[in-house]
Amino acid sequence: MKTIDDLGDLRGKRVLVRSDLNVPLDGGTITDDGRIRASAPTISDLSDRGARVIVCAHLGRPKGAPDPAYSLAPVADRMAEVLGRPVQFATDTVGDAAQAAVAALGDGDVVVLENLRFDPGETSKDDAERSAFADRLAALADAYVGDGFGALHRKHASVYDVPARLPHAVGGLVRKEIEVLERLTGDPDRPYVVVLGGSKVSDKLGVIDNLLGRVDRLVIGGGMVFTFLKAQGHEVGKSLLEQDQVDAVRSSVEQAAAKGVEIVLPVDIVAATSLDADADIDVVAADAIPADRIGADIGPRSAELFAGKIRDARTVFWNGPMGVFEQEAFADGTRAVAEALTEVDGLTVVGGGDSAAAVRQLGFAEDRFGHISTGGGASLEFLEGKTLPGLTALTDSTDTKG
């Protein structure tokens, strides 16, 4: 993998950096700037080397057309604060505004382009449409740096097609992320415990199946756990449930048993009348969720159980909150798991946008964890053993020479 050093003297060169600036927004306010702070060192480094830095990224899921709710403008402002230097903002992706902004860059200057997903070419499954957009992006720059770890699993123009068109290198953030994940897929110290939560079991079943041959223990909470409870024959009331995944979950659980992997499920659940702050809340047994209730968090006995199953591990990977942590009333399970990770004597990795936001929101110092990954889907797919299109594009041996 080529690094920024391999790109040679960058003074006067226009360098396009693909970052992951997909931060959570509440209205126009950034509620967690972790990905901006994680992306800043590579941008600073390029700027210090005299490059003319063009930052590109996506935000949320706009529908291939400009949508002010998903503008990267507030992110560019925050980036300027984090970098401690001015950051220009181009009000389009590859159009007149972007071209003018790039032409105006001096050595060391930084511009952020508008949300790449405002152009349908960025995410298009049609190679020609994606290629056309990639051509225009590549035309803005002399070199490319891939640093958007959270987007590496996407076969998108800025991630997959642009590096083939320019001399390219991998950024420091991606290097760091891959280094840590390789420790998890290599020969991790045991016990190796994986904790999974969050909302979609269909997103995470692949990783579960792939990990069964490697982990000692799987601890499962969050919204996805109700599909597990259902697979065991329990009713889950109005909780999140992916009915079409019940059979797949059942077969995963059987495989786990056959391979001697311990699966730890909650024994009690915080059952609420709604997910609002003023909901009525009771703790119920995991096999007795009332028909009119939503499971919003693991219960206190489960929190204690999970913490015990985590603390004695030597390697832990955690993805997905244990409950609807955005509401304080449903944050205790996530807090207990985070706390247990900080007590582990070994490598702890927190992956996933919401999980990373959760530990910060709950007031945990980042240095109490071994590594907080900026990528959810990307880290899961890496652990699943899938090839990440963005990584393939960066490591491609048919590199264009600069």
Q: Please report, as ranges, the residues that interact with Mg ion according to CB under 5 A.
A: 353-354
The catalytic position among 198, 351, 353, 375 is 353
Q: Tokens for 294, please give them.
A: 């939503």
Tell me the three-class secondary structure of 230-298, residue by residue.
Answer: HHCCCCCCCCCCCHHHHHHHHHHHHHHHHHCCEEECCCEEEEECCCCCCCCEEEEECCCCCCCCEEEEE
- Which residue blocks in 343-399 are alpha helix, DSSP H? 353-361, 377-384, 389-395
CA distances from 272 to 221, 299, 327 (A): 16, 12, 12
* 50 and 15 Cβ atoms separated by less than 8 Å: no
- Which residue blocks in 117-171 are alpha helix, DSSP H? 127-138
52 catalytically annotated:
no
Binding site for ligand ADP (CB under 6 A): 197-200, 222-223, 240, 295-296, 319-321, 323-324, 326, 352-355, 376
Contact partner at residue 62 from ligand ADP, Mg ion, none, CB < 5 to 8 Å by partner kind: none
For the bound state, the minimum distance from the C-beta of residue 354 to Mg ion, rounded and expressed in Å, comes to 4
Contact partner at residue 124 from Mg ion, ligand ADP, none, CB < 5 to 8 Å by partner kind: none
377 catalytically annotated:
yes
The catalytic position among 2, 200, 311, 386 is 200
Is 82 or 201 the residue whose CB approaches ligand ADP more closely?
A: 201
For the bound state, the minimum distance from the C-beta of residue 321 to Mg ion, rounded and expressed in Å, comes to 9
For the bound state, the minimum distance from the C-beta of residue 387 to ligand ADP, rounded and expressed in Å, comes to 20
Is 85 or 200 the residue whose CB approaches Mg ion more closely?
A: 200
35 catalytically annotated:
yes
Is 211 or 240 the residue whose CB approaches ligand ADP more closely?
A: 240
Is 237 or 353 the residue whose CB approaches Mg ion more closely?
A: 353
For the bound state, the minimum distance from the C-beta of residue 367 to ligand ADP, rounded and expressed in Å, comes to 20
CB atoms within 10 A of CB 136: 18
Contact partner at residue 171 from ligand ADP, Mg ion, none, CB < 5 to 8 Å by partner kind: none
Burial of 29 (0-12, 13-18, 19+ CB in 10 A): exposed
The catalytic position among 14, 18, 35, 335 is 35
Spatial separation of the C-alpha atoms in residues 55 and 20, rounded to whole Å: 10
* 107 and 12 Cβ atoms separated by less than 8 Å: yes
Contact partner at residue 295 from Mg ion, ligand ADP, none, CB < 5 to 8 Å by partner kind: ligand ADP
Is 45 or 297 the residue whose CB approaches ligand ADP more closely?
A: 297
Residue with structure tokens 């000692």? 216
Backbone angles phi, psi at 29, to 5 degrees: -100, 130
For the bound state, the minimum distance from the C-beta of residue 355 to Mg ion, rounded and expressed in Å, comes to 8
146 catalytically annotated:
no
Q: Which residues are catalytic?
A: 35, 200, 353, 377
